[in-house]
Structure 1
Amino acid sequence: MSNLKSVLAGVDVLERDGFSALAGSRVALVTNHTGLTGDGRATADLLRAAPSVDLRALFGPEHGVRGELDTEQIADGVDRRTGLPVYSLYGPRTRPSEEQLAEIDTLVFDIQDIGCRFYTYISTLAQVMDAAAEFQKRLIVLDRPNPIQGAAVEGPIADVDKLAFVACHPIPVRHGVTIGEMGRLLQKERVPGCDLTVVPCEGWRRNDWWDATGLVWTNPSPNMRSLTQAVLYPGVGLLEMTNVSVGRGTDTPFELFGAPYLEPRAFAAFVNDAALPGVRAVPVWFTPRASVFAGERCGGVNLALTDRGAFDAVRLGFTLAAALRSLAPDLWIPEKLMTLLVNSDAYRGILEDRPYETIASGWRNSLTQFAARRDAVLLYP
C-alpha cells in the first residue's frame, strides 16, 4: 500500500475551481518549466488554452520561461508554444516595467522553489511584488510544496545592510516556507502595498518531503537534479562562490565537493570526524566537465545522506569551510563566501576558526525571532 499523498499544487486548485480567480482579468504569468499541473501540463499552456483566461504575456526568471538556459544574461523573446511575448527577469532587468504591465491587470506567479535563501526564485518573487505594488496590479501566487519540507529553519539571518539578489530579505539560509508563504512574509514585512492572493496547495503538510507528495520531480534548475541535491544545497551551495567545485559539470552537482588542491582521504576524514548527524563523506577524485575547475582533477568527497531528518545542511557547510581552513589554509580563498553567507558575524567566526556551536550561538536568538515572524504567515499545519 502506497504512502504517497495526492497533493494538489496551486495551479491544480486554480484549474479545478474553473480559473475563477482570473475571471475578467488581463493576465501576465511569471513562470518557468516547473510551472506544471499534476499531470504534466505547463501552466503557461494551460492558461493560454483556458477560454476564460486572457493571458497576454510571460515573464521568466533565471534559466528562462522553459528552464532551458544556464547563462548570466537572458534576453526577451517570444514563447514558441504560446506565441506570447516573453520578458526576462534575469539580467539587466529583474522586475517587470510599467510599460510591460500597461495592459495587465493581474500577475500570476507559478515557480517551484527549493527552500533555500540564495536560490533566486524567491528574489524574483520579491521583485515582482515590488512592481505589482508600485503599478497597482493584483498578484496571485500559485503555491507549491517546499521540497525539503517546511518544518525546519537553519542558519544565520542575512544582514540587513548586505541584502542583494541572492539574499533579498533578512531570512535564514533554510527558511522553511513555501513560495506562497514567502509571498505572505514579504507582503507583511517588505511590500505591504502588494495586493496578494495565494492559492494554496491541498494535501501538503509541513513535515512532508517532496517524495511524500505524489508529485513528479522536475529539476527546478539545470543543476538541481534530485531531492538529495536539494537537501544538501543549503550547506554545499554556501561555499560555491569560493574557489571550490560543488560538482557543477558532473552528473551529481552538490553531492560532490572538492578542489585540485585537496587530498580526498584527509578531507573526508576531517568531515567524518565532525560526526555530523545524517551525512557521511566518501573520499573521491572527480573531474568536472564544465564550471569551476573544468577539466581538472579534483580531490574531495561524495556526500551521502544517511538520515535527512537529522541532517543540518548549514552545519555541513560550516564543517566544509573548517576543513578547507585546516587542510588548505593558503590555497582556499574565503572572501567570496560572504556572497551567499551574508552574515558578518558568522563569516568572522569562520575566519577565526571558532567551533561551529560557538558561531551558531551568535544567530540563535535571531533564528528564534524569525520563527515567530514566520508563524504569522504559515498556511499549512
Structure 2
Amino acid sequence: MKKYVTLGLENLIADPPELLRGKRLGLLSNPASVDGRFNHASKLIHHFFPEQLKVLFSPQHGFFAEKQDNMIESHHIMEPELNIPVYSLYYDTRIPTREMFDQIDVLLVDIQDVGTRVYTFIYTVSFCLEIAAALKKQVIILDRPNPIGGTQVEGNILSKRYASFVGRFPVPMRHGLTIGEISQFFNQKFHMGCDLTIIPMTGWKRQMYWQDTGLSWIAPSPNLPTPQSCMVYPGQVIFEGTNISEGRGTTLPFEQFGAPFLNTKKIKAEADEMIKGACLRPVNFEPTSGKWQGDVCKGFQIHITSTDEFKPYLSSLILMQLIIKHHKNEFNFKEPPYEYELEKMPIDLILGSKKLRKKLTRLEDLSLLSDQWQKELESFKSISGKYHLYE
C-alpha cells in the first residue's frame, strides 16, 4: 500500500533541529516507535546523533510492550544493544525523577497514542512535560497519527473528582487529537510551562483513520493488535470496570466481549435498534487469561460498517445498560484497586463520572446523552482546536 504520511520521527532525521546539536538526549518510546521501514527510533537516533542518546524511557506495558494488563509493572533494564538504561515510567513511579532527567538535556518523545482518554501514554507524556519544566529541560514530540481520526470527538468530559492515571485532565473519551496536539494542549491549557517543540507529520489529514495513512500498524500495547481494535476501544474499554470480559485473553481483544451468562438473543434484539454504524455478530469464545479464563463466554464481535455513524462510546454504554437490564443478578462492577486508585470504583474512573454509572444502573434513557454532552464537547473542540497542527 502506498505510504501517504511521513512521521515526525522521519522528519526529525531528515531535518534535525539545531537545538539538538551536542545535547544529551533521552527517548520515550516502545515497539511502535518505528519509521515507515520499521527502523526503531532508538537505533535511528543513536545512528544520526552519535554518542548523544544517553537514556531510554518506557510507558505502561514496558519497553517491549510485553505486559498484558493494568497494574502489571515493568522494571528498569539496560537496553542490550545500545547498553544504556531504560527507565520504566510504569514501575515504582509513574513520574520521572530528577535523577533520571539529570542525565539528559532534551527528551524526545516518540509514542503511538490511540485517541482515547483512558489510554495512559498521554499522561506519561504530561508528567514528563511537568518535570522537564521544573528542571529546565526541553521536550520534543515526534508526532504520529491518531489512528481513529481527528474529526470525531465523543463522550462526557472527565469530572476532576475522578481524575486518575486513566484520566488526568477534563477531556472527552474520544479526544480527536494527535500525541503532539494533545501535548501542546496539556502544556498550555494547564500551565505546565515546558519548553516544548513538536516535529509534525506531513501528509496526515484529520479525517484519516489508520487504514488511510499507508503505514503498517504495530501494536502499542498487547491488547490493541489492530486498527479495528482501536476503533472500538473508546467504548469497549468501559467493560474493564465490570465482570464482563472485554476480550482479553482472546485473539480479538475489545472487538469481542461477553460472559457465560449473557442472553445474546435478547440483547441483540434491543441493541440493533439503538446502535448505528456497526453489526453485532453473536460469538462464543473462551479466554485463555483474565476474566472467565477457561470458561465459554457468550457475547458479540463488533463489526464497524460505517465510521461516520458509529459512536463507540455511546454504543458500549448502551450495551452495558442492556446487560444490566437483562442480567442484574449476574452483572457486577469491579471493586478497587484500579490504576493505583484504592477507593473509587474503577468504572467511575473509566467513565470519568459517578453520575453516568447511576444513569446506567437506573436504566435511564441513554438516547439523550449525546445531546447532553454536546455543549461541553463544543467547548472542548473550540479550545482544543487552537492546538491543531493539521487541517
Structure-2-length-normalised TM-score? 0.93
Partner of 2:378: 368
1:144–1:124 Cα change, 3 Å: same
Distance in 2, matches of 1:124 and 1:159, equals: 20
Task: Give the superposition deviation at 1:60.
Answer: 0.4
The aligned amino acid for 1:364 is Q
Match of 2:199 in 1: 199
SS in 1 for 2:100: coil
Residues 9, 213 of structure 1: alpha-carbon distance in 2 compared, 3 angstrom cutoff: same
Return the alpha-carbon distance in structure 2 between the equivalents of residues 307 and 53 of structure 1. 49
Instruction: Name 2:87's counterpart in structure 1.
Output: 87
Aligned to 2:336: none
> What is the deviation of 1:81?
2.3
**CA shift digits 1:39-76 (9 cap, x unpaired):** 11000111112245601000000111222233511111
In 1, the alpha carbon distance for the partners of 2:349 and 2:103 equals 37
2: distance between equivalents of 1:80 and 1:355? 55
State the alpha-carbon separation in 2 of the partners of residues 249 and 310 from structure 1. Answer: 29
Matches within 5 A, 1:223-234: 223-234=223-234
In structure 2, the CA distance between the partners of 1:329 and 1:320, relative to structure 1 (3 Å rule), is: same
Output the CA distance in 1 between the equivalents of 2:66 and 2:79: 12
Partner of residue 354 from structure 2, selected from 326, 344, 357: 344
What one-letter code is carried by the residue in structure 2 that aligns with 1:310? E
| Superposition deviation, residue 321 in structure 1 | 1.3
Note the residue ranges of structure 2 that are not aligned, 5 or more in a row.
334-344
| Greater shift in the superposed pair: 303-312 or 228-237 | 303-312
Residue deviations 1:88-125 (CA, integer Å, cap 9, x gap): 00022112110111131101110000100011111111
User: Which residue of 2 is the match for residue 141 of structure 1?
Assistant: 141
User: After superposition, what is the alpha-carbon deviation per residue over 1:259-308, rounded to whole angstroms, capped at 9, x for unaligned?
Assistant: 1121222232232132x221011112111111111111111111111112
Distance 1:51 1:134, change over 3 A: closer
Larger displacement relative to structure 2 (170-179 or 32-41) = 32-41
- Alpha carbons 2:67, 2:73 under 8 Å: kept: no
Q: Distance in 2 between matches of 1:283 and 1:247?
A: 14
Distance (whole Å) between structure 2 residues aligned to residue 77 and residue 294 of structure 1: 31
* Counterparts of 1:267 and 1:8, CA distance in 2: 44
Checking the alignment, whether the CA contact within 8 Å between 2:27 and 2:56 is kept in structure 1 is yes
Corresponding residue of 2:282: 283
1:148-297 alignment, distance < 5 Å: 148-274=148-274, 276-297=275-296
Q: Residue 11 of structure 1 corresponds to which residue in structure 2? A: 9
1: CA distance, partners of 2:223 / 2:368:
33
TM-superposed CA distance for 1:346, in Å, is 2.1
Distance 1:238 1:20 in 2: 44
Counterpart in the other structure of 2:32: 34
| Equivalent residues, number | 378
Q: Tell me the SS of whatever aligns to 2:98.
A: coil
The alignment partner of 2:53 has SS state of strand
Cα contact 1:25–1:53 (8 A) shared by 2? no
Q: Secondary structure at the match of 2:257?
A: strand
Matches within 5 A, 1:310-329: 310-329=309-328
2:331 is matched with 332
1:353 to 348, 353, 363: 363
Deviations 1:7-39 (A, max 9, x none): 111000000114544212111111111111111
What is the match of residue 96 of structure 1? 96
Contact 1:14 1:20 (C-alpha < 8 Å) held by counterparts: no
> Is residue 68 from structure 1 mapped to residue 78 from structure 2 by the alignment?
no
Comparing 51-60 and 197-206, the one that deviates more:
51-60
One-letter amino acid matched to 1:287 = E
Contact (CA 8 Å) 1:76, 1:86: kept in 2 or not?
Answer: yes
Alpha-carbon distance in 2 for matches of 1:67, 1:82: 18
* Alignment check: 8 A CA contact 2:130 2:192 kept: no
For 1:44, the equivalent position in structure 2 comes to: 42
Which residue does the alignment assign to 1:298? Answer: 297
TM-score, normalising length from structure 1? Answer: 0.96
CA spacing shift, 1:298–1:262, aligned 2, 3 Å: same
Find the aligned partners of 1:56 and 1:159 in 2 and give their Cα distance. 39
1:242–1:333: 8 Å Cα contact kept in structure 2?
A: yes
C-alpha deviation, 1:243, in angstroms: 0.6
Taking the aligned partners of 2:318 and 2:251, their CA distance within structure 1 comes to: 24
Helix, strand or coil for the counterpart of 2:122? helix
